[in-house]
Each structure stands twice: as structure tokens, then as C-alpha cells.
Amino acid sequence: MPLSIDVKLPREVKAQWPDRCVRCEAEAPGGWVRLWTHSIGWWTVALFAFGMPFSVRVPACPSCAMRIRAVRWLTTLVYCVGAFAAVAIAFWVLGGYAGPGRRWLAMALALVCMAPIFILRVFLAPVIDVTCYAKSVEYEFSDAEYAAEFAVLNGGEIV
């Protein structure tokens, strides 16, 4: 099952990478792909807001870098279209409801509608992804061997 293998590092650590492509594992890939995200935490759920941006350069040969970027853009597009459809469904279902907590019910219904997208993302894990928190970063790999080597290079823990 292609669930991700996560390596946790402190946010201030500049990640060291194995000298091979993260996707095809070609030696000395000669290129990189930049991944970026925003910090998440309690404020993300409570305030519907994201924290400071975080970016990292990951070694990848040019063709693999292009594929990784394409998958990330496609995933973002699917999330946006899914969120729009889920909110439209929520407004349609809750259109006549004027009771308390309407906004929260709409958000809960939208999350339920998007659950298949989230579940699919878990079982079709990307080659590389990052999740950033206030004090740590989790690097998510689909390849266990690459993740283990990355963890050893950086003194990180596999979570």
C-alpha cells in the first residue's frame, strides 16, 4: 500500500538530500524542484487561516521535476474544484435552513463531500510532499529507502 513514510525535522534545519532524484532515483540528477507550503496548526482549523510560508529545494532530474510540479498543480486544481463543488452542494442542501450554526454545518458538509478526495490522496501518495508546522516539518516520501536515507542524513525521526 503506497502510504507515505514521514520524516520529521525541526523547522530551522536545512534539509540535506541524497544525491539522487527523489522520483526516479537517478544519480546526480542535476536539477531540483521547489516545494512550498504554509504552516498549519490549531489556528488553521479555528481561524481558517494559514501560517508562514515554507519552501524547500528537492533534488530531481528535469523531467521528474516537471512531473512533480504537474502532479502538484493537478492536485491543487482537483482540491479547488472539489471545494467549490462541495460548497455549492452545501449551499444547495442548507439553502432553506436559517437556524444556528449554518456556516459550521456548511463547512462540515463540504468536508464530508471532499472526504473521497482526501482518502484518495492518502492511498495515492505523491513521491514527495511536505507538511509544515510552527516548529517542525514533516517530509513525506513514497519510497521507504529514500526516506530512511534522508532521515539518517538529517538526524530526523521516521514518524
3-state secondary structure the chain: CCCCEEEEEECCCCCCCCCECCCCCCECCCCEEEEEEEECCHHHHHHCCCCCEEEEEEECCHHHHHHHHHHHHHHHHHHHHHHHHHHHHHHHHCCCCCCCCHHHHHHHHHHHHHHHHHHHHHHCCCCEEEEECCCEEEEEECCHHHHHHHHHHHCCEEC
Domain that holds residue 64: 5-158
Query: From first to last of its 159 residues, what are the pLDDT tens digits of the chain?
Result: 457 899 999 999 999 999 999 999 999 998 999 999 888 876 666 666 677 889 999 999 999 999 999 999 988 898 888 888 888 888 888 888 887 888 888 888 888 888 888 888 888 888 999 999 988 999 999 999 999 999 999 998 888
Domain count, the chain: 1
Closest CA to 34 of 66, 57, 15: 57
Closest CA to 141 of 2, 6, 1: 6
pTM: 0.80
